């Protein structure tokens, strides 16, 4: 198992993984049209490059030299707070402790950069919310974010104090 930083040239790997992961992850939560809209909005190569230009760091999780998941985070989204923007695993890679491994890597990087909190958004109906709670994240608020085309992201904002880890 390895976690590696993603270069601009590797963003196509993130793009391809997202298109494999999202339909399964969100199929029971969001309409197919919304999934397609969000994939295009967040995972086109141009969008991924823009996210990188704006300070997002992308990571790949590789198992036996095959990419099985990705994450992205941004330091100091507000002072002292690292934002975990994305963390996804292929369905076959879930339930093996890899999500926790990924989170621990982001925590390590945040702490190395003297961050106090790790924050994320998760769809209120996504079973991953329970995973984050087990890791010590707490819901700090709910948000309904208009993402265009008549769609909203109905999320919990969850936060983890890095001083307790």
Q: DSSP per residue over 70-120, as a string? A: EEEEEEEEETTEEEEEEEEE-GGGTTSSHHHHHHHHHHHHHHHTT--EEEE
Asked if residue 99 lies in contact with residue 89, where contact means CB atoms within 8 angstroms, the answer is yes
Which of 135, 155, 14, 140 is CA-nearest to residue 81? 140
- Residue ranges and CATH numbers for the domains of the chain are 2-164 (3.40.630.30)
* pLDDT for position 99: 94
| Residue 164 confidence (pLDDT) | 74
Task: Dump pLDDT digits (tens) for 67-76.
Answer: 999 999 999 9
Entry pTM:
0.94
- 81-89, strands of its sheet edge to edge: 2-5, 57-63, 66-78, 81-89, 117-123, 151-161, 138-148
What's the pLDDT at 133? 97
In this prediction, the residues of the chain whose per-residue pLDDT falls under 50 are none
Residues 18-27, buried b or exposed e (16+ Cβ, 10 A)? beebbeebbe
Place of tokens 């991953």: 128
Q: Which residues contact 58 (CB under 8 A, 6 or more apart)?
A: 5, 6, 10, 11, 14, 48, 51, 52, 70, 71, 72
Contact between 67 and 58 under an 8 Å Cβ cutoff? The reply is no
């Amino acid at each position: 198992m390895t976690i590696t930083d993603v270069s601009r040239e590797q963003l196509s790997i993130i793009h391809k993984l997202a298109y494999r992961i999202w339909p399964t992850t969100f199929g029971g939560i969001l309409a197919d049209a919304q999934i397609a809209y969000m994939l295009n909005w967040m995972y086109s190569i141009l969008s991924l490059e823009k996210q990188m230009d704006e300070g997002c760091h992308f990571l790949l999780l590789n198992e036996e030299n095959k990419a099985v998941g990705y994450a992205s985070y941004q330091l100091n989204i507000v002072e002292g707070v690292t934002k975990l923007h994305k963390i996804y695993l292929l369905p076959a890679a879930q339930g093996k402790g890899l999500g926790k491994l990924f989170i621990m890597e982001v925590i390590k990087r945040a702490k190395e950069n003297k961050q106090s909190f790790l924050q994320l958004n998760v769809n209120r109906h996504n079973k991953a919310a329970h995973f984050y709670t087990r890791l010590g994240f707490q819901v700090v608020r709910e948000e309904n974010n208009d993402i265009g085309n008549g769609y909203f992201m109905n999320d919990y904002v969850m936060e983890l104090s890095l001083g307790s880890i």
